[in-house]
Amino acid sequence: MSATTASILARVVMCAAMLAGSVAAVASERADDRSSGRPVAERVQRILTDVSLDPGLAVEVAGQELLALADSALPAIFDAFCVVIESTAASETADGAPTNRTESTLLYVFEHTPAARLTPLLASPVTAESSVRARLAALRILATTASARDFRLICRLATTDPVDSSLERALETTLDALVGRDQAIFSVLERAYPTASVGVRRVFIRVLSRTHTRDSLRLLSRVLYREDELRPLLLVTIGRMSCDLPRPIGEDVLSNVRRFLIEADPLALPEVILAVGYLDDDESIPQLIALLRCPRRGLRANALWSLRRITGLGIAETPERWTTWYQSEREWWQHEWPSKLAGLRSASPDKAKVALMEIATRHLFRHALAKAVVELATHDDAGVATLACTTLAQLASRAAVPGLIDALDHDDAIVRMAAWNALRAITKKDLPPAAVAWSAAKLGS
Amino acid sequence: MAIRRMRAGVKSRSDRRNQSGTAIVAALVVVTVVSVLSMAYLQLSMSKNREQRSSVDAKRAFYIAEAGLAEAYAGLVAGKSGNVGNGTIPARFANGAFWVESVDEGDGRRTLTSTGMCGTGRSALSVVVENVPEPVGALGVFGDQGLFVGEGVLIDGYDSRRGTYGSQHPVVVGGGGGGGGGLLGGVGGLVGGLAGSEEGPAESRVGCNADIVLPGGLAATHIDGDAQPGPGSSVLRGLGVTITGTTAPRTKSAELPVLDVPSLPLAGDIDHSTVRTPLVLSPQESSFGALRVRAGASAVIVGPAKLVFGSLQLDLNATLTIDATNGPVDLYVSDYLNMAAGSTYNSTSHDPTGVSLLIAASQSIDRNRDGIPEPPARIQSSGTFYGSVYAPAAALTLPSQLELFGAVAAKQLTIGNGAKLHFDRALCAPQNGDGALPQMLCWRLVELPDVPLVQMRLDPLSVMELNGITPTVSKDAHYDNGDDPLAGVVGVVLRVIQGSK
């Protein structure tokens, strides 16, 4: 034990010695440079050449050396970064990760430069008649260093007239990084949204859509009413994002979207209809049934798609049948649901089974039903638990997925089998009957 | 003694007198009993007869309902909706009548419910049939991995079986709605699809297994019909984009079958550069290593022909004309297709089902050694082309100068700004060896519908005759949803029948 510790200590000491040696060597060279009176740009270039050619020279060491140069060296370092960005543009990775040691060194320098010194430098491409290259470089640096406070600067850097697609891509990368780093960006982004250009707003939407969070979904639904031109895109994004989020979706989001269905927004009605379907908004069913009588075939077909998605029913495009079904379901909820809920919560397994069998035939508010039923999937009584799993499979709600995964660990083999079957039916995925496998899969519940 | 005899004689005479008429009573009783028995027997016999007739009617009604299902099935195969007659004016068949209702259940399934009537017999049967795979042409305008529709594009539809495009589109960009054409334009589609209603032009079909992107712009983009992205994908449309049909995602991805290039006798290479004399490829089935039509030259391919080209190139100002007047022309390109800008590609026949450009090419190769690889297929020609273009392994861009009547499907499809595409719904019809019959999934007896003709239990033909209605014979009673030939008289007839009830 002590021998191992000694060995580790020896290695640490060796590394420290090597690092110190490197720093000393570099410092001595720097002293030579100073003494020789070389221009700053030249010294920056020399360090960068060294780091690119000498794999033994650590990025951190070279970075520290650059940082040790005077403040006046920052513009030269930034210029060098512009050149690097241009040369690496073709091989740039999708997530904006550095592609070579020179770039890594320079990013190290910017990461360790105080904001007070860095921000004016990065703002310079906005104020001056600067090239796209400088803006791209500034955005690349901000992707690593920025916080929500830099949001305005980021937007100004990305906005040019005419619009430059490479800047929009850089903006997207920067915002992607920022959203993952600073939650304050959401409120900043919402405030900035109305005044941003169409291109920038499109980038905002794309960035938020990739976060797959409820906060982003709420934000997108809130800006809906402020948006005209991109409203169809917003609605499509909201619909697609919601697929990965647990059910039920928050009422605030639903009402923000439903509003455009009720008002029959002429700008984006096809997208609104599909969005309420994706959101599984049961409250929009009356409007959707009414749309089945719309003279526009496209809207009728979209409404039918949404109705089928929300309810899980395969009724054809017959408004009368949908109306009859909806009325009967509403009546059931009004008159029968309280007693069935009491049955579910009753201590008697028989009463619970009766309630479950009745619930299995329902299709309105099926996510709410699933939430109520899912507790019984892990019931001590194997009969109740099995029937609960079967009922959940009938309801086909993703809200039941976590509860069904828990049921995979039930003591009774029949319950486990029923839970597994239900999970496969709901998710359309064929995973093994092990809770670990289902938990690991991103099912979006 | 004498007195006793006298008394006896008197008594017997009076007895006889008293007994006269009893025979009549007895006879009457017997007659009555016999009559009652006869009546009872008659009644029994008549009842039995009625029962037998009723049973025979029920059996006939059952078989007529079966005949109705068969008729509807035949209609589906012929590209109709499966609706035959209706509950008010059924279709006539033998000494009875039937009608069939066809309901689209989604996912390519359809329920046919047939009600048969004969005398007092009634029977209702139902089957569920499933769609058969449609021919590739039925995909319409389709991109497998992506579909980008530029600004100012017009994509609409027509049915070459019903006449020319011009006759079905008196105004190029019609109003929304499209007259409810394309009954099966929604999710799935059944048995080769349908032409649109008789009232309006047939609609187009635009589809993709991924997103459909229509950025729009100043010039209006108009899709008259469905634009269905892949499962979980969306239609991303900008301002100025109108889509009259559904934009709901497809329920499942469409497979683009791999192109099977036939092995045909090799006929060498052709490099045609003579400007004055056009190259004419007469009807044949041959394979060419290459066909290149040089600048200013022209070539004509006359059908029926099946030709395979390793590479097919049209240079600037070159012209390739397809003449499918006398038979179909199938052109396979296995390696490289390049129709340069300024070239012309057109067809003389106006039947899109007769011409196919099938591109199996898939590799981008630097052919002119300029350091930039050329894509496997490039169409930059102008002209008016009737036919279908199929490139399952290549990205394709259709330029604005080429007006296409037919269908196009590619791995990745881009419709250039201002392009015009007119999808021909005749391409939805099953081709020889290409379309199987719809599959029957289940059969069952169902409850009789609540319709006056059914509930009355009278001979349907007599009731209709009484009301001055002549039912259509079954083979002529097919109609499509929203296109009921009897719609105008239904209300009147219903009242008449209900009145007679």
Confidence check: pLDDT of A194 > 60: yes
Q: Find which of A297, A321, A427, A429 to mutate to test the B interface (most B CBs within 10 Å of its CB).
A: A297
pLDDT digits (tens, 9 = 90+) for B435-468: 457 788 889 999 998 888 888 888 888 888 887 7
* Of A40-54, A146-160, B380-394, B478-492, highest mean pLDDT: B380-394
- Scanning every residue of chain A, which has its alpha carbon at the shortest distance from the alpha carbon of B239? A229
Confidence check: pLDDT of B99 > 50: yes
Residue A254's identity, in one-letter code, is L
Helices and strands counted in chain A (H then E): 25, 0
Of B133 and A271, more confident: A271
Mean pLDDT within B2-10:
58
Of A90 and B25, more confident: B25
Mean pLDDT within B381-391:
91
Contact list in B for residue A297 (CB cut-off 8 A) is: 177-178, 180, 182, 185, 244-246
Q: Do B177 and A297 touch (CB under 8 A)?
A: yes
Q: Angle at CA A55, nearest 5°, toward A54 and A59?
A: 95
pLDDT of residue B105: 79
Handedness of CA B427, B433, B434, B439 (dihedral sign): positive
* A297 → closest Cβ in B180, B237, B239: B180
Kindly state the tokens that stand for A214: 């409820």
Model confidence band, residue B94 (pLDDT cutoffs 50, 70, 90): confident
The CB-based long-range contact list for B98-102 (8 Å cut-off, 24+ gap) reads B98/B64, B98/B65, B98/B67, B98/B68, B98/B71, B98/B474, B99/B68, B99/B477, B100/B68, B100/B69, B100/B71, B100/B72, B102/B72, B102/B76, B102/B481
Mean pLDDT within A386-402:
89
* A298 → closest Cβ in B104, B237, B246: B246
Model confidence band, residue A147 (pLDDT cutoffs 50, 70, 90): confident
Model confidence band, residue A218 (pLDDT cutoffs 50, 70, 90): very high
pLDDT of residue A94: 46
Phi, psi (deg, nearest 5) at residue A323: -65, -45
pLDDT of residue B179: 35
Confidence check: pLDDT of B224 > 80: yes
* Of A2-16, A112-126, A135-149, A275-289, highest mean pLDDT: A275-289
pLDDT of residue A154: 87
Strand, helix or coil for residue A157: helix
pLDDT of residue A22: 56
Q: Do B248 and A274 touch (CB under 8 A)?
A: yes
Model confidence band, residue B214 (pLDDT cutoffs 50, 70, 90): very high
pLDDT of residue A211: 87
- How long is chain B? 501
What is the nearest CA distance from B103 to chain A, expressed in angstroms?
7
Mean pLDDT within A21-30:
54
Cα–Cα distance between A84 and B148 in angstroms, integer? 34
Burial of B444 (0-12, 13-18, 19+ CB in 10 A): exposed
pLDDT digits (tens, 9 = 90+) for A331-342: 999 999 999 999
Given 3-state DSSP classes, what are the helix, strand and coil percentages for chain A, each rounded to the nearest 5? 75, 0, 25
What is the nearest CA distance from B213 to chain A, expressed in angstroms?
11
- How long is chain A? 445
Mean pLDDT within A167-194:
86
> How many beta carbons lie within 10 A of that of residue A336, not counting itself?
14
Confidence check: pLDDT of B413 > 70: yes
Q: Do A270 and B243 touch (CB under 8 A)?
A: yes
* A298 → closest Cβ in B106, B238, B245: B245
Question: Residue B204: which of B282, B270, B279, B141 has the closest Cα?
Answer: B141
Percent of chain A surpassing pLDDT 90: 24
pLDDT digits (tens, 9 = 90+) for B228-258: 999 989 999 988 899 999 999 998 888 888 8
Cα–Cα distance between B159 and B140 in angstroms, integer? 12
Q: Do B247 and A308 touch (CB under 8 A)?
A: no
Cα–Cα distance between A332 and A358 in angstroms, integer? 10
On whether any CB of chain B is under 8 Å from the CB of A266, the answer is no
pLDDT digits (tens, 9 = 90+) for B279-323: 998 888 989 999 999 999 999 999 899 999 999 999 999 999 999
Of B230 and B184, more confident: B230
pLDDT of residue A82: 84
Of A41 and A346, more confident: A346
pLDDT digits (tens, 9 = 90+) for A321-332: 899 999 999 999
Q: Do A316 and B232 touch (CB under 8 A)?
A: no
* Residues 6+ away with beta carbon under 8 Å from B226: A298, A301, B182, B185, B186, B203, B204, B205, B206, B207, B243, B245, B246, B247
pLDDT of residue B484: 42
Kindly state the tokens that stand for B292: 């290149």
pLDDT of residue B396: 92
Let me know: does B303 contact B279? Beta carbons within 8 Å: no
Model confidence band, residue B493 (pLDDT cutoffs 50, 70, 90): very low
Strand, helix or coil for residue B375: coil
pLDDT of residue B143: 94
Contact list in B for residue A243 (CB cut-off 8 A) is: 232
Which chain B residues touch A if contact means CB-CB below 8 Å?
103-107, 176-178, 180, 182, 185-187, 226, 232, 234-239, 243-249
Residues 199 through 258 of chain A touching chain B, CB cutoff 8 Å = 229, 232-233, 236, 239-240, 243
On whether any CB of chain B is under 8 Å from the CB of A271, the answer is yes
Mean pLDDT within B48-60:
88
3-state SS record for A90-146: CCCCCCCCCCCHHHHHHHHHHHCCCHHHHHHHHHHHHHCCCCHHHHHHHHHHHHHHC
Percent of chain B surpassing pLDDT 90: 38
pLDDT of residue B187: 28
Cα–Cα distance between B198 and B178 in angstroms, integer? 11
What is the nearest CA distance from B239 to chain A, expressed in angstroms?
7
Burial of B470 (0-12, 13-18, 19+ CB in 10 A): exposed
Confidence check: pLDDT of B188 > 50: no
- Scanning every residue of chain A, which has its alpha carbon at the shortest distance from the alpha carbon of B196? A297
Q: Do A297 and B248 touch (CB under 8 A)?
A: no
pLDDT of residue B430: 63
Q: Do A302 and B246 touch (CB under 8 A)?
A: yes
Model confidence band, residue A392 (pLDDT cutoffs 50, 70, 90): very high
**Range in A52-56, B218-222, B439-443 with the lowest mean pLDDT:** A52-56
Contact list in B for residue A428 (CB cut-off 8 A) is: none
C-alpha A198, offset from chain centre = 21
Confidence check: pLDDT of A191 > 90: no
For chain A, first and last CA: distance in Å?
48
Residues 279 through 298 of chain A touching chain B, CB cutoff 8 Å = 295-298
DSSP B185: G
Cα–Cα distance between B54 and A55 in angstroms, integer? 100
Mean pLDDT within A357-378:
89
pLDDT of residue A266: 79
Let me know: does B430 contact B126? Beta carbons within 8 Å: no
pLDDT of residue B496: 39
**Range in A98-107, B56-65, B329-338, B343-352 with the lowest mean pLDDT:** A98-107
Cα–Cα distance between A93 and B328 in angstroms, integer? 50
Cα–Cα distance between A117 and B494 in angstroms, integer? 88
pLDDT of residue B466: 80
pLDDT of residue B103: 85
Contact list in A for residue B246 (CB cut-off 8 A) is: 270, 297-298, 301-302, 305
pLDDT of residue B426: 87
Question: Residue B493: which of B455, B452, B458, B459 has the closest Cα?
Answer: B452
What is the nearest CA distance from B330 to chain A, expressed in angstroms?
35
pLDDT of residue B150: 92
Residue B95's identity, in one-letter code, is N
For chain B, first and last CA: distance in Å?
84
On whether any CB of chain B is under 8 Å from the CB of A314, the answer is yes
Confidence check: pLDDT of B360 > 50: yes
**Beta strand spans in B12-120 (E):** 83-84, 91-93, 96-106, 109-118
- Quote ipTM for the complex: 0.76
Model confidence band, residue B152 (pLDDT cutoffs 50, 70, 90): very high
Model confidence band, residue A428 (pLDDT cutoffs 50, 70, 90): confident
Cα–Cα distance between A91 and A98 in angstroms, integer? 10
- Quick check: pTM over 0.80? no
Q: Do B234 and A308 touch (CB under 8 A)?
A: no
**Range in A77-81, A383-387, B395-399 with the lowest mean pLDDT:** A77-81
> How many beta carbons lie within 10 A of that of residue B401, not counting itself?
18
What is the nearest CA distance from B252 to chain A, expressed in angstroms?
13
**Beta strand spans in B107-203 (E):** 109-118, 121-130, 141-149, 154-158
Contact list in B for residue A314 (CB cut-off 8 A) is: 105-107
Estimate the crossing angle of helix A231-242 against helix A214-222, to 10 degrees.
Answer: 160
pLDDT digits (tens, 9 = 90+) for A396-423: 888 889 899 999 999 999 999 999 999 9
For all residues of chain B together, what is the average pLDDT?
A: 81
Confidence check: pLDDT of B407 > 50: yes
pLDDT of residue B410: 94
On whether any CB of chain B is under 8 Å from the CB of A317, the answer is yes
Q: Do B176 and A301 touch (CB under 8 A)?
A: no
- Scanning every residue of chain B, which has its alpha carbon at the shortest distance from the alpha carbon of A234? B236
